Structure 1
């Protein structure tokens, strides 16, 4: 893997804003940072790719904890569709992703979890799986097919954990369901971060789930009870618990910007921007599928066909960042942290991801002053140009005799 030097940047990450910033990376890891002309000596080394950021924003690579597809491709239609969707999001700055699974028959979920495990084995940019369905409240199912929802049970949970072969990173569960708390314990024991979501839980039920170890709130404000002056609900329970990370979809449609600002104020450093994107993200309006359900996208709003029920988003993380700064009014440091350091911390990866610092992965995004992505680097390697077709940069795969995947960049 060749070396990388990026210089003359306006760096912004969870550590703050620094002008005339540079970093040097070898073998996908940042080995030195500084300001001014200190990068000149490193640039003389053999095989260095030297990039002049031209005073533009430089952020760590974005992390998405919650995504279902993009570029016209859903995650639940097999490995090639997953790769195409991931290529779209990588072109928009998301260098590390979880693959989220909607409610499906258990056999289909096992297969999807196994496919992601195979992908993780050869592609470190895929962080693992997020099992969003099937342990959700029917009354709050949103765009999940009600026919495939189930009450959780330890044996069923263990079966799905086994299919993921150590790559299930997050699982969503409605804590008011029968056996939910016991199942949360099984997930935590397996090293899975439990997210409370798609739930009819009240404040006490959500608080109890957080007390026993749940550590996230899935797409806060959506598919759950809101804040009422006599019924505070799960959002207040998440605000109160300093160990809980709150996912937030900042597309201007799922959550009003003023409400989004409330979340950042009430839970500073604990809000993670997510896309919850479906196949139309980075693509175009039209008709799509999400799991077993039909979705119609008009003017960028995805709804279950024939209804007003929102079915994921068409968001990419670069747009989420721009919205956080321009619509919500966040300081850039806090906005960038919400899609870099905060999600990395939620996954226990903040020792190597989410900062532009020596010892961290060389994942970086150069953006114009209006927060438009210009260059993306993942593991120190240039990724796709967002203005080109993602197919140019997608990974292709083939089965080898061992039954694993072999990949090569086109």
Structure 2
């Protein structure tokens, strides 16, 4: 079955053009400029972007990925898909090793079903001084052999590990992760500049929510931020909810790293789409007020209630990115991190038909997953 989408403003990494595209058997077959050569489904001049790719997400709609519950996870996936995220990695938080194995094994079922693109262990190998909303009592020193247990529990679906490079055993664990095809992300770290460089040299290639849960940028002690921004091998995650990072700092990061190394993430937790109240993230109780999630004890930021469409709108309106730059940071760049940029992340012939239709004010008007509308425009 063939479908033509016409009267569209197509957003690509190179820019935006008026045009059309055709879809057959779940894939984009043609992308054109100007009027479509045949009648199609008119989008009335609305934007079409690739589906968003979220590589750091803890849940939503009341469901929490760290709980490992299938029903809750499916609810979270569905919520974020309605907001344009068609590819998602489920992030776990620090927990007892047995509990991490159990959650990973459970969520691997959803990876097998194609609902998740993989698993991310954010902890337990992180700094006590920068643990944020992670339970400090459950932190562990990195161990390649122990991490292999977690990888086995994930049955081939573990995609990322966040680790503090200054910890004993961290560099060996980074190397082991890379050897097993797992992305090593540096974060929740109290490392200095040189220690962060050592982590990058060992194979660290992602900065877990840059600026957050790490020493600040300093002119005499540049710390991890400078090391992560200046190295072309590193993709930096940014939580663009107006709470985690000031727009000026996000602007600075994008200018330093460029859209090609900047990945917007949500760091969303169970409260996303649910409103204010009390929730749980891993073993920690979280209070949400005014849409901001903080630990009930201590007040540390505890994830977000962000969706990716809101992150894109904020990137354009508050940060000053062009729409193609913002969309690239929400799609192609994170797809490249996962090694999926040949399949998803941009609108091009041969790629999967994962698409988002945006109104003129950048609200989601339609979502397509593998050629099927999940939100009809």
Structure 1 residues 282 and 3, CA, compared in 2 at 3 Å: closer, same or farther? farther
Deviations 1:106-161 (A, max 9, x none): 111111111222111122x4110011111110111101111221111111011111
1:344 and 2:308 correspond: no
Distance in 1 of aligned mates of 2:303 and 2:285: 12
| TM-score, normalised with respect to structure 2 | 0.97
Deviations 1:156-205 (A, max 9, x none): 01111111111111110001111000011110001011100100011001
Distance in 2 of aligned mates of 1:212 and 1:203: 14
After TM superposition, list the pairs within 5 Å mapping 1:264-283 onto structure 2: 264-268=254-258, 269-283=260-274
Structure 1 residue 371, shift from structure 2 partner: 0.8
Unaligned runs of 5+ in 2: none
Structure 1 residue 283, shift from structure 2 partner: 1.7
CA contact (8 A) 1:103 1:145 kept: yes
Distance in 1 of aligned mates of 2:2 and 2:170: 48
CA contact (8 A) 1:12 1:333 kept: yes
Distance in 1 of aligned mates of 2:113 and 2:24: 20
Deviations 1:259-311 (A, max 9, x none): 10000000012110000000111221111000011100000110001432100
CA contact (8 A) 2:26 2:372 kept: yes
Structure 1 residues 148 and 51, CA, compared in 2 at 3 Å: closer, same or farther? farther
Alignment partner of 1:32: what SS? strand
Distance in 2 of aligned mates of 1:39 and 1:81: 44
Misfit runs of 4+, over 6 Å: none
Counterpart residue number, 2:30: 32
RMSD of aligned Cα (Å): 1.3
Unaligned runs of 5+ in 1: 44-49, 387-410
1:370 and 2:361 correspond: yes
CA contact (8 A) 2:23 2:371 kept: yes
Counterpart residue number, 1:47: none
Alignment partner of 2:171: what SS? helix
Counterpart residue number, 1:130: 120
After TM superposition, list the pairs within 5 Å mapping 1:259-298 onto structure 2: 259-268=249-258, 269-298=260-289
Counterpart residue number, 2:6: 7
After TM superposition, list the pairs within 5 Å mapping 1:229-308 onto structure 2: 229-268=219-258, 269-308=260-299
Equivalent of residue 65 in structure 1, options 55, 60, 66: 55
Structure 1 residues 233 and 79, CA, compared in 2 at 3 Å: closer, same or farther? same
The count of corresponding residues between Structure 1 and Structure 2 is: 375
CA contact (8 A) 1:175 1:196 kept: yes
Distance in 1 of aligned mates of 2:209 and 2:66: 20
CA contact (8 A) 2:13 2:324 kept: yes
| TM-score, normalised with respect to structure 1 | 0.89
